[in-house]
Amino acid sequence: MTSNSLITVINDLEYHQFDVSSQDEFNQISSLISEHLSEPYSIYVYWYFLNTWPQYCIIVREKDHSTIIGVIISKVEPHRNVRMRGYIGMVVIEPKFRKLGIGKSLVKLTIQKMIEVDNVDEIMLETEVINDKAINLYQNLGFLKVKRLYRYYLNTHDAFRLILPIEEKATTRIAFLPPIEQA
């Protein structure tokens, strides 16, 4: 953990940007995720997200700094070359630290950063249709259910796709949007 990775402190808990060079951080977040998300993610999926968008992996540490108790992993990419789309890939909070507002803080920090740094037009994610906790969390932040994806997960559960519209572009048909200007 490097001190310049600190993003903010909320309720005495430190929110840090993931350190790509730290094997220990990688081991902790990958075991947190594999223990608590139903979908098995390969090492390639982790490295795709973490190496390309380390700025969108935020971790929360226990007060004594030893253990990672929460993580969110996301990315931002152009969608069909007309909208900037943020995508929240994984969010997990260690069970004994749930219902304390940590998940909500991680999602809010990610949304804020995606808007400030990448001017996203919308933010998307999928979650299991039976995951009431996650659906409540996202809907309370303004995400809308836009699609039900049949047998989306390996455990055969359906998913809801949710989108948080940020800019008007998010609600305009793709065919009516001009291509994103290249920098």
Instruction: List all residues 6 or more positions away from 25 whose beta carbon is below 8 Å from its beta carbon.
Output: 1, 18, 19, 59, 68
Q: State the nearest-atom distance from the C-beta of 102 to ligand COA, in Å.
A: 4
Task: Tell me how many residues contact ligand COA (CB under 6 A).
Answer: 20
Tell me if 102 contacts ligand COA by CB under 6 A: yes
Contact pattern from residue 67 through residue 96 relative to ligand COA, giving x for each residue in contact according to CB under 6 A and a dash for the rest? ------------------------xxx---
Cβ-contact 102, 110 below 8 angstroms: no
For residue 151, give both structure tokens. 């047998």
Report helix, strand and coil shares of the chain as percent, to nearest 5: 35, 30, 30
Comparing CB distances to ligand COA, the nearer of 48 and 98 is 98
Kindly tell me which residue out of 17, 39, 98, 145 binds ligand COA, with binding defined by CB under 6 A: 98
- Lookup: tokens for 141: 């932040």
Judged by CB under 6 A, the stretch of 10-18, 42-50, 97-105, 152-160 that binds ligand COA is 97-105
Residue 50 vs 92, nearer CB to ligand COA: 92
Measured distance CA(107)–CA(175) in Å, rounded? 30
* Smallest separation, CB 120 to ligand COA (Å): 18
**Angle between helices 23-36 and 43-52 in degrees, nearest 10:** 120
Taking CB under 6 A as the criterion, the residue among 136, 155, 171, 172 binding ligand COA is 136
In the block, tokens 């402190």 appear at 9
Amino acid residing at 96: K
In the bound state with ligand COA, the residue whose beta carbon lies nearer, of 82 and 159, is 159
Residue window 29-68: x/- pattern of binding to ligand COA, with contact defined by CB under 6 A: -------xx-------------------------------
Given a contact cutoff of 8 angstroms between Cβ atoms, the answer to whether 71 and 33 are in contact is yes
Round to whole Å and give the CA distance between 168 and 155. 36
Binding site for ligand COA (CB under 6 A): 36-37, 91-93, 98-104, 127, 131-134, 136-137, 140
